[in-house]
Amino acid sequence: MKPKAPDDWLLAIESATSRLSVALLRGDGTPIERAADESSGRNTGHHAERILPLIEALFDAAGCDAEAPTALAVSIGPGSFTSLRVGLATAKGLAFATDRPVIPVPTLEALAFGARIAGDERPLAAILDARRGEVYAAIFRPQEGGLHCLQPDGLFSPEELAARLPMGCRLVGEGAHLLASLVPAPDEDPCTRWPRAASVARLARARLSIGDLGAESDLAPRYVRRAEAEAKRTASAVEEPS
């Protein structure tokens, strides 16, 4: 039997985008992370097939088993509708019948958190391609140990978002290129293109440290854009803020 990890290990899942990743955060703050192989040529949207083997590989790398983490965290969107549901269902399933909490972490916050640069206080716009000529985006200002939200998650045209950007704002995320003709060149660092499970884990750990477990109602995908049928029913393409 594999030894259990220390009591304060945390398992995080990031499935909101085409780049699936999972991470274990040690008690000392050191993450162990695994991402799905994107060089295989397979559809990176097939998270349902990949997520459990990826988590098993993560546990093998850490030398522990599925019972080891005492808390879980999951990226809740915005992002791909199907992929968000896969990540959330997996997190809930792993926590089922135990007292382990599941901490929801907004995807764009995780993206911006992972893109911070030490000593750089410029605002950060975290941007994902929402298709249909639109982007999901949120704007943050780095602060000690985390981020301060300047613009909550939203669905924008590139022109609408460009008009909201603060002076000197860094653009990060795989959707940033859609604003290339409107603003200075976005951050081209490949490490800032995707939200990472390690960032989800660190944000969740910070919430846990102050006793912020979130409400049960928070454990739902944050789509931002409504599904097509719902958009027709409500005459609005965007979800109401929670």
Per-residue pLDDT at 2: 46
Q: Using alpha carbons, select from 10, 11, 12, 21 the residue that is nearest to residue 191.
A: 21
Per-residue pLDDT at 188: 62
Q: How far apart are CA 44 and CA 85, in angstroms?
A: 15
Identify which has the larger pLDDT, 215 or 103: 103
pLDDT for residue 82 is more than 90? yes
Mean per-residue pLDDT for 178-201?
85
Mean per-residue pLDDT for 65-77?
92
Per-residue pLDDT at 5: 42
Per-residue pLDDT at 233: 36
Per-residue pLDDT at 229: 35
Mean per-residue pLDDT for 162-187?
89
pLDDT for residue 119 is more than 60? yes
Mean per-residue pLDDT for 207-229?
76
Per-residue pLDDT at 187: 64
Q: Which residues pair with 25 in a beta bridge?
A: 10, 31
| Contact in structure between 65 and 4 (CB atoms under 8 Å) | yes
199 band by pLDDT with thresholds 50, 70 and 90 = very high
Q: Is 162 helix (H, G, I), strand (E, B) or coil?
A: helix
232 band by pLDDT with thresholds 50, 70 and 90 = very low
All domains of the chain, ordered by start, with CATH? 10-107+195-234 (3.30.420.40), 115-192 (3.30.420.200)
Q: Using alpha carbons, select from 201, 202, 199, 174 the residue that is nearest to residue 188.
A: 174
Per-residue pLDDT at 65: 85
> For residue 213, what is the enclosing H or E element?
none
Which range, of 34-38, 98-102, 155-159, averages the lowest pLDDT? Answer: 34-38
Q: How far apart are CA 79 and CA 224, in angstroms?
A: 9
pLDDT for residue 41 is more than 50? no
Q: How far is CA 101 from the centre of its chain?
A: 17
Identify which has the larger pLDDT, 23 or 45: 23
Mean per-residue pLDDT for 58-73?
91
Q: How far apart are CA 171 and CA 183, in angstroms?
A: 9
- Neighbour-count burial of 17, counting CB atoms closer than 10 A to its CB (0-12 exposed, 13-18 middle, 19+ buried): buried
Per-residue pLDDT at 185: 67
Per-residue pLDDT at 214: 72
Q: Is 169 helix (H, G, I), strand (E, B) or coil?
A: coil
